[in-house]
Structure 1
Amino acid sequence: MEKILDIIEGIAYEKGLPIESVSEAVKEAVIKVAKETLDSNIYYEAEIDKKNKTLHLYQVISVCENDSSDVEDKNNFISLSEAKKHDNEIKVGDELRYELSLEDMSRSAVNSLFRELEYKIQRLIEAQLFDKYKSQIGKIVSGNVVRIDDLGNTYVEIDEIRAILPKKNRIKGEEFNVGQVIGAVLKHVGIDRQNGITIELSRTTPKMLEELLRLEVPEIKDGEVEIVNCARIPGERAKVALKTISAKIDPVGATVGIKGVRINAVSKELKNESIDCIEYSAQPEIYIARALSPALVISVALDENKAIVNITSEQKPKAIGKSGINIRLASMLTGFEIELKEIDNLNQSTKQTTETNSQEAPKNNLDILSSLFKE
């Protein structure tokens, strides 16, 4: 095949593929068609002559020690004695190569070669796209809405491929229109022969909130503030645990921004989802107490993966939250099962404890002096 290298370079440029990959695809296609149209039992090799820009197809025969009468696979093996008739210096393990003419290929063989090459190029494109989007899993991508089906699934065109945002991955109450530009987290990338590449998007994963914060807050993007964990009930409320190693930075203040400008921008993108920012603590008791904010707790006791939280009756509704949302998020954020233990009449209980301790404790000099004045 003359000028094959020009063809390969043209395909590579047009499809945005590496020249080496297209070259291998062409050689594999030629070998496969040769097996189908010439002889499937022969071992073939294809080579591209870069200098002359031509492709050559060879039948390769290996030299073995046995006499020619003992060689079973005569298509691919030849005895040493027989091989020496072609080359006196040949040794066992060497190969004889016979070039086969590609110009004499039948029309059906040429058509088969075209189809096979087209198939392989398509697989190369898909593999390249798969690698590209797989590296973006967990990142926010944006595209135009091109269709919304009867089940509520939204189809989004991202560059050269169409992705799906299933209804279950959409924030409750969200509605999109065809032509609208939306952003979502790339959740999953798959590939198969029947459907090619499939991309699933999501706007409900906690990763969506994390990535939005990373885009909105420079301190998070630069690594000065770290998102330790994130918990969401999409469209309603979320909690984010933050920490920093810099004494000069308030992780919560930096994330919220002046007058809440940063956190409000993120909330708006998530259909006004309420976002609580708390400072992470390596001490679980403190971490759990902060996660239950805005409630103020008395104490936290740990029992393996369970946290028993003592709290007043006045603070208990805040800890639970509307429909239990606050305690659920705190549990998701910390990884602990949280049990609230209500303590009634805290002030009275504290007073009684103080009086009891006062009676049992020995009097010091000030107590004695005070009693003398009272007398």
Structure 2
Amino acid sequence: MSSELLDALTVLEKEKGISREVIIEAIEAALVSAYRRNFNQAQNVRVDLNLEAGTMRVFARKDIVEEVFDSRLEISLEEARAINPAYELEDVVEIEVTPKDFGRIAAQTAKQVVTQRVREAERGIIYSEFVDREDDIMTGIVERQDPRFIYVSLGKIEALLSQSEQMPNEAYKPHDRIKVYITKVEKTTKGPQIFVSRTHPGLLKRLFEIEVPEIYDGTVEIKSVAREAGDRSKISVYTDNPEVDPVGACVGPKGARVQAIVNELKGEKIDIVEWTDDPVTFVANALSPSKVLTVMVEEEEKATTVVVPDYQLSLAIGKRGQNARLAAKLTGWKIDIKSESDARALGIYPSSDATDVSESDKINDIFSFEQEEIE
């Protein structure tokens, strides 16, 4: 058994990174428990495991006292000196009490401890690997489903895709390959538990990093993302390189880059707008594909009033208010949209406070055309 155990410890040390001394200490502690359990002993014992010699010895540890009250834990000075004349009071005597049948029990116990340590090590390795991948994207394979979760294989472990993180426009079948966003990695008594999402805005951001080289290398930066998964999303992009068009880089030749992301998200529409620190232009861009006549800003309230042509009002607001809602999330500004005729009736348009955004209209016109082409 000792040679097999030595071989096993060598493999564990090399492949799993588990120290041999740590495992030997664990085996010795387990053997103490096994001795007490199997031989009904309440003694204070120590197990000495010598793998090189192939020996396992059990020693009862007894305190040297003047008067013995419990012979399982104590020994008189006279008896101790019969073993070794050098003993003094309060010393500890070790007496070998190794049972004849202890080798078989020791072998079983050692096997259990090694198996447990291997399992713990593997769990630790998996946790270390995946905890660094929080907020990252991975490709997984749908394994199975129950009322609470879809179980997605990520190779070494199954991740949990809860109902709230599933896209409403998707049906998941076993063996489907899907990209998922890792939201949380937890260490539990049963091993690491990984939670993933298909609805998280971070998934959209990572998909653009994969598809758009300019984002991956930092030339173009994604400033904000607003998403209603399975239906529509908006992202704002920026670059300080005057020779790069950030929106065009994300759309790609003939819309190829954004279309790949749309396909991955099963037809989810994506609006790409240019970010700017000017709230007037940014809010106008965010309401794409609607045209904007003017944007009035209230800095203290972080609110804007946007005037659009009458025929563009429903487009600006969007189905069930979606376009305006996403634009507000994207920009971080409250947006109150009014038609041109209502604004004139209220006396707020035209106004000396209004800012012309005709240039933003041109940006929106260009993007709306491109978006229609790829949709």
Q: TM-score range by the shorter chain?
A: 0.7 to 0.9
Q: Is the 8 A contact 1:34 1:40 kept in 2?
A: no
Q: Distance in 2 between matches of 1:335 and 1:87?
A: 85
SS class of match (2:102): coil
Q: Return the alpha-carbon distance in structure 1 between the equivalents of residues 134 and 56 of structure 2.
A: 42
Q: Are 1:246 and 2:248 an aligned pair?
A: no
Whether 1:128 aligns to 2:125 is: yes
Sort the Cα spacing of 1:142 and 1:55 in 2 relative to 1 into closer, same or farther, 3 A: farther
Task: Name the structure 2 match of 1:203.
Answer: 198
Work out which of the residue numbers 309, 312, 319 in structure 1 matches 2:316: 319
- How far apart in 2 are the matches of 1:352 and 1:303? 20
State whether residues 340 and 349 of structure 2, in contact with CA within 8 Å, keep that contact through their aligned partners in structure 1.
Answer: no
Task: State the identity as a percent.
Answer: 27
Shift of 1:217: 0.5
Of residues 26, 29, 41 in structure 2, which corresponds to 1:28? 26
> 1:90-146 CA distances to partner (integer Å, 9 max, x unpaired)?
xxxxx9999997997353344333323322321221121112112112222223222
* Counterpart pick for 2:140 among 140, 143, 163: 143
Letter in 2 for 1:17: K
What letter is aligned with 2:273?
Answer: I
Residue in structure 2 matched with residue 288 of structure 1 by the alignment: 283
* Aligned residue number for residue 213 of structure 2: 218
Q: Distance in 1 between matches of 2:240 and 2:47?
A: 60
State the distance in 1 between where 2:123 and 2:141 align.
Answer: 21
Q: Does 1:267 align with 2:268?
A: no
Instruction: Give the match's secondary structure for 1:160.
Output: coil
Aligned counterparts of 1:275 and 1:327: Cα–Cα separation in 2? 14
Residue 255 of structure 1: aligned partner: 250
Of 163, 166, 190 in structure 2, the residue corresponding to residue 167 of structure 1 is 163
Q: CA RMSD in A?
A: 4.2
Quick check: 1:154 aligned with 2:154?
no
Cα distance change of structure 1 residues 55 and 27 upon mapping to structure 2, 3 Å threshold:
farther
Aligned mates of 1:136, 1:347 — CA distance in 2: 53
Deviation at 1:285, TM superposition (A): 3.9
Number of aligned positions between the proteins:
338
Is the Cα contact below 8 Å between 1:58 and 1:97 reproduced in 2?
A: no
Conserved 8 A contact 1:228-1:241 = yes
Query: Using the alignment, how far apart are the partners of 1:264 and 1:126 within structure 2?
Result: 39
> How far apart in 1 are the matches of 2:351 and 2:196?
58
Worse-superposed segment, 292-301 or 37-46: 37-46
Question: Which residue does 1:299 correspond to in 2?
Answer: 295
Q: Indicate if the aligned counterparts of 1:31 and 1:46 stay in contact, CA closer than 8 A.
A: no
Does residue 17 of the first structure (1) align with residue 23 of the second (2)?
no
Q: Closer, same or farther in 2 for the Cα pair 1:345/1:335, shift >3 Å?
A: closer
Question: What is the alpha-carbon distance in structure 1 between the residues aligned to residue 175 and residue 350 of structure 2?
Answer: 69
Q: Distance in 2 between matches of 1:253 and 1:148?
A: 40
CA distance in 2, matches of 1:97, 1:248: 82
- Seen in structure 2, the aligned counterparts of structure 1 residues 317 and 37 have a Cα distance that, compared at 3 Å, is same
Partner of residue 328, structure 2: 331
Q: Give me the TM-score of the superposition, normalised by structure 1.
A: 0.72
Structure 2 Cα separation of the partners of residues 129 and 212 of structure 1: 24
Deviation string, structure 1 residues 160-209 (Cα, Å, up to 9, x no partner): 2222322332211212332222221122223322x433322211111111
The 1:233/1:306 distance shift into structure 2, 3 A limit, reads same
The one-letter code matched in structure 2 to 1:10 is V
Structure 1 residues 255, 351: closer, same or farther in 2, change over 3 A?
Answer: closer
Report the residue type matching 1:221 in the other structure: Y
Q: Name stretches of at least 5 consecutive residues in structure 1 with no aligned partner.
A: 62-66, 77-81, 89-94, 355-375
Larger Rg: 1
Report the alpha carbon displacement of residue 308 of structure 1 after superposing the two structures with TM: 2.5
- Match of residue 6 from structure 2: 5
Please tell me whether the aligned partners of residues 221 and 237 of structure 2 are also in contact (alpha carbons under 8 angstroms). Answer: yes
- Judging changes above 3 Å, is the alpha-carbon distance between structure 1 residues 148 and 240 closer, same or farther for their aligned structure 2 residues? same
Candidates 340, 344, 357, aligned match of 2:341: 344
Cα 1:206/1:353, change in 2 over 3 Å: closer
Whether the aligned pair in 1 keeps the contact of 2:293 and 2:309 (CA below 8 Å) is no
Shift in Å, 1:235: 1.2
Check the 8 A contact 2:43/2:60 in 1, yes or no: no
Cα drift, residue 293 of structure 1: 2.1
TM-score with structure 2 length normalisation? 0.72
Q: Deviations over 1:207-257 (max 9, x none)?
A: 111111111001111111111111111111101111123222221111111
SS at match of 2:238: strand
- C-alpha contact 1:56 1:100 (8 A) present in aligned 2: no
Counterpart in the other structure of 2:357: none
CA distance in 2, matches of 1:221, 1:113: 50
**Counterpart code for 1:312:** V
